[in-house]
Amino acid sequence: MQVANEAFGQGTHRVVDPADQPRDLSGWAWCVYVSLGLLAIVMVARLVTALDLHSAVTDGGDIVGKYRDYNRWVAIDGLLFLLSAALFIGWFFQAYKNLRRLGVQNLRHGNGWAIGAWFVPILSLVRPKQMTNDIWRGSERGAEVTNRWRLVPVPSLVHWWWGLFLAQGALVYLGQTMTQGGYDKLSRFGELSSGFSQIKSGTVFDVIGDLIGIAAAVVAILVVSMITEREDEIRSEAIAHAPQVPVYAPPAPPAQYTPPAPQPPTAQPQPPPPPAPPQYAAPQPTPTEQRVQCPECAEWIQAQANVCRYCGHRLRPLGQ
Cα dist. 304→4, 117, 292, 308 in Å? 131, 143, 9, 10
pLDDT given at position 126: 96
Rounded CA separation 77/83 (Å): 10
Q: How far is 302 from 294, CA to CA, in rounded Å? A: 10
pLDDT at 249 (0 to 100) = 54
pLDDT at 8: 37
Q: pLDDT value at position 99? A: 95
**Would you state the pLDDT for residue 67?**
94
* pLDDT tens per residue across span 243-262: 665 545 566 666 666 666 66
pLDDT per residue as tens digits for the range 160-169: 999 999 999 9
What is the number of helices (H) and of strands (E) in the chain? 7, 2
Q: Give the rounded percent of residues in the chain with a pLDDT score beyond 70.
A: 81
Q: Which of 165, 40, 22 is nearest to 100 (CA)?
A: 22
Average pLDDT, the chain: 85
Distance CA 18, CA 14 (A): 10
The three-state secondary structure class of 240 is helix
- CA–CA gap between residue 130 and residue 274 (Å, rounded): 108
Mean pLDDT for 37-43 is: 96
Query: What per-residue confidence (pLDDT) applies to 160?
Result: 97
Q: Where are the domains of the chain?
A: 2-240, 289-320
pLDDT at 63 over 50: yes
Q: With H, G, I as helix, E, B as strand and everything else as coil, classify residue 291.
A: strand
pTM score: 0.72
**What are the tens digits of pLDDT across the range 65-122?**
999 999 999 999 999 999 999 999 999 999 999 999 999 999 999 999 999 999 999 9
Range with top average pLDDT, 103-107, 128-132, 257-261, 315-319 = 128-132
What is the C-alpha to C-alpha distance for residues 182 and 55, in angstroms, rounded to an integer? 15
Q: Do 101 and 21 touch, CB atoms closer than 8 A?
A: yes
**What is residue 263's predicted lDDT score, i.e. its pLDDT?**
64
